[in-house]
Amino acid sequence: MPKTLTITRPDDWHIHLRDNAMLAAVVPATARVFARAIVMPNLQPPVITPAEANDYYWRIKAVIPVDSSFEPLMTLYLTDQTTPEMIHEAAAQGLVKACKLYPANATTNSAQGVTNLAALHEAFAAMADAGLLLLVHGEVTANDIDIFDREKAFIDQQLVPIVTNYPELKVVFEHITTSDAVEFVLAGGPNIAATITPQHLIYNRNHLLVGGIKPHNYCLPVLKRNTHQQALQAAVAGGSPKFFLGTDSAPHLQHTKENACGCAGCYSAPAALELYAEMFDQLGILDKLEAFACFNGPDFYGLPRNPDTLTLVRKPWQVPATVPVAGQPMVPFCAGETLQWQVL
């Protein structure tokens, strides 16, 4: 049983850094481990234009620790009004690497999301032409669709038409949660990939609902039954380059999670890589962690792999119970739990 594991420095291909005091509080946890991260644009107001992406980039850069070379990779928030001109301007600017499709009202800060895919016909074509990736939050929002079935319905109703109509467009199916999504990605062409979060690998819906609702395990897409969890585990064990690390780390203050609001999101950044190492170790596939965390993502995005390395050591440690944000507590994912792997 190995006591240390040295791998290429990884990247996080799906993260929420928020803004203002929250931004300053959470960036160091990600910059400590990851070289780059795809930063989600669902602020209030969202990052819709290239100019807004540029402004947000520099707000992030201002709070990166001085000893870190962490680089944020920016995204645009798609709306029904996104134009081809905005897409080409973003690509020419160089900071924006992808555009995010939130179905309107699907998750946190998505009220201004897309209501009509047809309105984005020219924008999708421009993205394919400019080399910007499409990142999708894969859930429909119709009230008559059960929350546990919304990912499968999104595949059938929206994702199949997108990949059929725009075969040259690179698409990342974000934070997949079901066997249906695994099967879709594996069956798709070389321009289809997916990110997998630590919470969906480690937990299933029992961890959200049994013994009382556990608000800090609530995220969207919601945790699914254990057979879907096992399908995700089988996907990473299979070693396909179509799957890569994207934490969807999503910070919320403790009082906004522990109330009727039910804010969706798990703040996993303080233990992100360690959580993946824990799961890969339990599955007996530690040898596959480096490709999943360090190679598959940059290869799909067409970016260079990172030149440096980091080392994890098998040394028990406890995830902190809370993390301070401007004097207020935030509860991280797996708070208080003992993990067996730790980044040196």
237-247 per-position pLDDT tens digit: 999 999 999 99
State the DSSP H helix or E strand holding residue 231, giving kind and residue range, or none if neither: helix 226-238
* Residues taking part in catalysis: 248
Nearest Cα neighbor of 79 from 115, 52, 51, 109 is: 115
Which residues of the chain carry a pLDDT beneath 70? 109-110
Distance CA 24, CA 19 (A): 8
- Does residue 100 have a known ligand-binding role? yes
- Does residue 220 have a known ligand-binding role? yes
User: DSSP string covering 235-294, please?
Assistant: HHHHT-TTEEE---B----HHHHSSTT----B--GGGHHHHHHHHHHHTT-GGGHHIIII
> Do 37 and 301 touch, CB atoms closer than 8 A?
no
pLDDT (0 to 100) of residue 239: 97
The predicted model scores a pTM of 0.96
Distance of CA 116 to the CA centre of its chain: 23
Instruction: Write the pLDDT tens digit of every residue in 141-181.
Output: 989 999 999 999 999 999 999 999 999 999 999 999 999 99
- Does residue 306 have a known ligand-binding role? no
> Do 133 and 301 touch, CB atoms closer than 8 A?
yes
Angle (CA) 230 139 141, round 5°: 140
Q: Which parts of the chain are beta strand (E)?
A: 4-8, 12-15, 36-39, 71-77, 96-101, 133-136, 171-173, 192-196, 243-245, 309-318, 323-325, 328-330, 338-343
pLDDT (0 to 100) of residue 109: 65
> Can you list the domains of the chain with their CATH numbers?
11-306 (3.20.20.140)
Strand-by-strand arrangement of the 309-318 sheet: 4-8, 309-318, 338-343
